[in-house]
Chains A and B, each alone.
Chain A
Amino acid sequence: MIPNSFQYHRPDSVDAAVALLTQYGDEARPLAGGHSLIPMMKLRMADVQHLVDLQAIGSLKGIAVAGGTVTIGAMTTQHELINDAALAKAVPLIREASLQIADPQVRYAGTLGGNVANGDPGNDMPGLMQCLDAVYTLSGPDGAREVAARDFYEAAYFTAREDNELLVSVRFDAPKGGYAYEKQKRKIGDYATAAAAVLIEKSGGKCTSASIAMTNLADTPVWCAAASEALVGSSLDDAAIGAAVAAMKSAIDPQEDNRGPVEFKTHVAGVVLARAISRAASRA
């Protein structure tokens, strides 16, 4: 379990990191918490000649909640997301989901930026960010650009990020209404068999808006517009939840693996979504 040799870099600014990524092209990879990349390097499934460690770039850290907008630096760890009081108050959905990721040791190391940039369909943050309609800021040699989380994921491990771009921050509006993150896993510390992120707003007993995203049920996260629409205008009764679950099932594309056959995963997806909708509705 020893990875191939590489050259190690520890730049202290975004510009210096981007310069290294530009100089070395696809031979270089950013290193955040390392808890997806290092296992891949140990298995020699990732071939990296230049490792660009982001730990010394102070500007990539931090959580800001201001005027209803939340901005989170890429190098903010899952542990920090869980323990930030202002974030827990503004967006309790983040805390609820983060507590269901991996285990304590992994959460001290794993970052939001690494989790969303990785492109592994098993990661929980991409679906969560699609549910929140987050925007990612990428910095490259020609400056910064923004990409919506809902447009970022192309296929497993393929994203809209170019090799010489750094993901610097994630931004979204603090949602109103009720929320829930529901995840089915084989054991604590496991990736999802199926997971659902749900946001619901209600007025006068009727659902006025909804956002639903599913995790590990296709080669990208699945934001389900049709499932959300099935809830809007309803009283969030069993019939509406059933319609949302049916719409979700036709949007996902699970594959058989060691977490189970397609039928099982589809069934579990329905169960977690129904539970997440009910919990979000009870909090709306």
Chain B
Amino acid sequence: MGKMHIKLTVNGKEEELLAEPRELLIHVLREELGITGPHIGCETSHCGACTVDMNGKSVKSCTVFAAQANGAEITTIEGLGNPDGLHVLQEMFKEHHGLQCGFCTPGMITRAYRFLQENPDPTEEEVRFGMSGNLCRCTGYQNIVKAILAAAAEMNAAKEAAQ
């Protein structure tokens, strides 16, 4: 079946491309647009490595068709920070050893970003529940939770200072 015209806003930039409707969003991002931050872990909707932010929600981009995403606004890890200006979450993952191999990290941070938008001052238990769609095979989670709690504290302090 033919390709269709797809428009996306990815990390603030408008993109237009042709894709078969059955192509998955993760493949469009990685292969058509060269955005390789979101990873393919399980490809079966379980691990969260492919998590991106779509229209203000964390989604597993291996479980979204390109056609469904037509018109959507998408943020990936590349849109949160870069080596010259890390996002607070990236800083805190670095500071608190929230990553080892780093494979799960883009998904973790993109999910944590949305979670903290919805719950800016979470308890440890709320962080664990809010992050339960993301699996890590290295860290044992402890330092990921620490990093997210530290990032929340930093973000709240910055907000207070600004007021």
Contact = CB atoms under 8 A, between A and B. Distances in A.
Interface string A92-130: 000000000011111011000000000000000000000
B119 to A, nearest CB: 11
B65 A8 contact: yes
Interface residues on A, range: 20 to 34
A55 B1 contact: no
A108 B51 CA distance: 12
B57 A108 contact: yes
Given A4-B22, A6-B22, A39-B44, A105 B67 contact: no
Nearest to B23: A2
Nearest to A31: B68
A8 B105 CA distance: 33
A34 B58 CA distance: 15
Interface string A50-80: 0101010000000000000000000000010
Q: Looking at chain B, what size class is its interface with the partner chain?
A: 20 to 34
A38 B57 contact: no
Given A8-B4, A51-B21, A105 B58 contact: yes
A105 B26 CA distance: 15
A7 B58 CA distance: 26
Contact of B46 (A10, A51, A55, A189): A189
A188 B135 CA distance: 11
Interface string A3-21: 1111110100000000000
Interface in B48-64: 48, 51, 57-60, 62-64
Contacts of A8: 4, 21, 65, 67
B21 A38 contact: no
B132 A189 contact: yes
A188 B132 contact: yes
A249 interface: no
Contact of B59 (A4, A31, A109): A109
A275 interface: no
Nearest to B42: A1
B63 A6 contact: no
B45 A106 contact: yes
Interface in A155-174: none
A105 B22 contact: no
Interface in B109-127: 111, 115
Nearest to B130: A104
Given A2-B22, A8-B4, A105 B133 contact: yes
A39 B63 CA distance: 7
A206 interface: no
B66 to A, nearest CB: 9
Given A105-B111, A106-B133, A108-B59, A34 B43 contact: no
Nearest to A105: B133
Given A6-B21, A102-B133, 9 more contacts: A1-B43, A2-B24, A5-B1, A5-B21, A35-B63, A41-B22, A103-B132, A104-B58, A189-B133
Interface of A: 1-8, 10, 31, 34-35, 38-39, 41-42, 51, 53, 55, 79, 102-106, 108-109, 188-189
9 contacts: A1-B43, A1-B62, A3-B22, A4-B22, A103-B133, A105-B51, A105-B59, A109-B63, A189-B46
